[in-house]
Amino acid sequence: MSRRGENIYKRKDGRWEGRYIKSRQHDGKIKYGYVYSKNYKEAKEKLIVLKAQYQSQQIRCVNFNDTLINFLKRWLKSYGKLQLKETTYSKYSRIITNHIEPFFSNQYLHHLTENECISFLNFLVDKGLGSGSIRNIFNLLRKALDIAVREKYIEKNPCKEIILPRLVRKEVRALTFEEQRKIERIALEEIACSPIIVGLYTGMRIGELSGLRWQDIDFQEEIIYVRRTITRISVDGESRKTKLIIHEPKTGSSYRKIPLAKNLKAYLQAKKKSADSVFVFSHRGNFVEPRLISYRFKSIQNKAGLEDIHFHMLRHTFATRAIETGVDVASLSRILGHSSTKMTLDTYTYSIYDNRVLAMEKIDNLMSQPIKIGKKKAGSVKV
């Protein structure tokens, strides 16, 4: 073949052939692509377009020996810092460090196969993690590998077609009425405003209670505004190094208004008179962080002689009592700050079912006497 121009040749059959670097194999060997045209000018134009198209891929292929973990951490720093909330970034970082890295510590990105992804899925199941946690971990890996495909680091996502375990929601436990009363009696004896009392009668999350300020309570309009939450997060995935952050509620629906009922209003107004902080629940003039609220709750729990309960159960207790007293699911969902009524229905199915049973019993009571069916004498029917 006679040559004219860079990587463009005239073939013996009269056509012009252009060659370009299309990709690289896992071992670094070049894979070429070819174009064919009737004349040199047309072959050159086609070649310019294809070279531009694959130029970024050629640059990225230099990193063909990069490990999966290095890629994940690099992806999280470049993507996460710009697009994720600080709490979500911290969560993703912990997932990579605590769950993905122990299994894929020496795994090269280009060598990752579907079978290895399935083995990883079984590894998570064997760790005893719930279906929700497994889905969160695996979906993070799948999401990152989609980016790897888009950026031409790998040809296809080996996690793409893997079916995850069916999501099974654990049945939440609420305090019984007797347990609630035991906790309440001790909490009401506290001089300062108690997050236990407010949690039991608003359903607010622990971080939302921690960030609640007096200015968020409108006593005249009888509304509590949920405007912020306080969370302790790990710093860049380090389990021992943490920091507190004050941020907006996690979703748009979490930013909400909660009606302030009469008894709770009287309780809060009385506590406000002796308040020494802008925060409703304070420690040395500042907010009480969620971890300290949990510690104090543990102490009250022990005084009440109760076991196997935690602060978040106060939220479940509020929701259960609301359903038991006939609050409709749509209203309860808005008060709790759920993203949908489906989430409320799925979470509190057991309580809602109990209410359905009571409803059926009420309807059944309308049938006060059994229906008697007897034979009538001929000619006795009146028209």
161-183 residues labelled b (16+ CB within 10 A) or e (exposed): eeeeeeeeeeebebbeeebbebb
Give the residue-averaged pLDDT of 6-34: 76
SS3 category, 154: coil
Q: What is the pLDDT of the chain when averaged over all its residues?
A: 85
Q: Which is higher by pLDDT, 345 or 364?
A: 345
pLDDT at 243: 87
* CATH architecture group of domain 177-362: Orthogonal Bundle (1.10)
Q: pLDDT at residue 237 above 60?
A: no
Please, which residues bridge with residue 126 across strands?
none
Confidence of residue 167 (pLDDT cuts 50, 70, 90): confident
Per domain, the residue ranges of the chain are 2-63, 68-150, 177-362
The model's pLDDT over 50-74, given as tens digits with 9 standing for 90+, comes to: 777 665 555 454 445 689 999 999 9
Q: 122: burial class by Cβ within 10 Å (0-12, 13-18, 19+)?
A: exposed
Mean pLDDT lowest among 83-87, 152-156, 225-229, 351-355? 351-355
Give the residue-averaged pLDDT of 134-138: 94
Number of helices (H), then strands (E), in the chain = 16, 11
Contact status, residue 23 vs residue 31, Cβ threshold 8 Å: yes
Give the residue-averaged pLDDT of 256-263: 94
SS3 category, 130: coil
Distance CA 136, CA 140 (A): 6
**In the chain, what percentage of residues exceed pLDDT 90?**
47
Handedness of CA 247, 250, 253, 256 (dihedral sign): negative
- The H or E element that residue 38 is part of is none
Distance CA 152, CA 57 (A): 6
Give the residue-averaged pLDDT of 4-27: 75
Contact status, residue 365 vs residue 372, Cβ threshold 8 Å: no
Instruction: Give the type of residue at 322.
Output: A
Class of domain 68-150: mainly alpha
